[in-house]
Amino acid sequence: MSNLHIRLARPDDVAAIFGMIKELAVFEKLEHLVVANEAMLHEALFCEKPVSEALVGEADGEVVTYALFFHNFSTFLCKKGLYLEDLYVKQDRRGHGYGKQMLIALAQLAVERHCGRFEWSVLDWNSNAINFYESMGADVLPDWRVCRVTGDALTKLARS
């Protein structure tokens, strides 16, 4: 495939990852929702009890892709799962198989960690991503919808 080197993220990768998070937000037309900053990302990934982990892919000495993930839990399987929050490849680096390599690395990690599932969400308008994920063996679940409570609605729910 290519010369992509995949590894766990290090603290000195935070700026590159955060830059790609902003690129992803623009691509998804959701940049208005980004309130995070590099310090917050550093804390999430590298504090005493990290809430997330990340893989990065380097090509030609540059971080060109990242995958941010965390563990969830399935009561039906009674096993932890690996949930992929973001997978992004820089636009000028697409078409080299980097996304496929990152998904394979994540699947290998899920198997090594004895996860019962490897899951993620995809926007319904992103047909290229849907086709890609299906080609990798993923099932896009038609009967499930994401429910989210955030911001003022979360505060209101907590106070009710």
Percent with pLDDT over 70 in the chain: 99
Residues 40-60 have pLDDT tens digits of: 999 999 999 999 999 999 999
Residues 85-137 have pLDDT tens digits of: 999 999 999 999 999 999 999 999 999 999 999 999 999 999 999 999 999 99
Q: What confidence score (pLDDT) does residue 2 get?
A: 67
Its pTM stands at: 0.93
Contact 136, 40 (CB under 8 A): no
C-alpha radius of gyration, the chain, whole number: 16
Is residue 144 classed as helix, strand or coil in its secondary structure?
A: coil
> Any idea of the CA torsion for 70, 110, 134, 123, to the nearest 10 degrees?
0
Provide the 8-state DSSP code for 76. T
Q: Domain spanning 5-159 has what CATH number?
A: 3.40.630.30
Spans of all domains in the chain: 5-159
The span from the CA of 146 to the CA of 120, in Å, is: 11
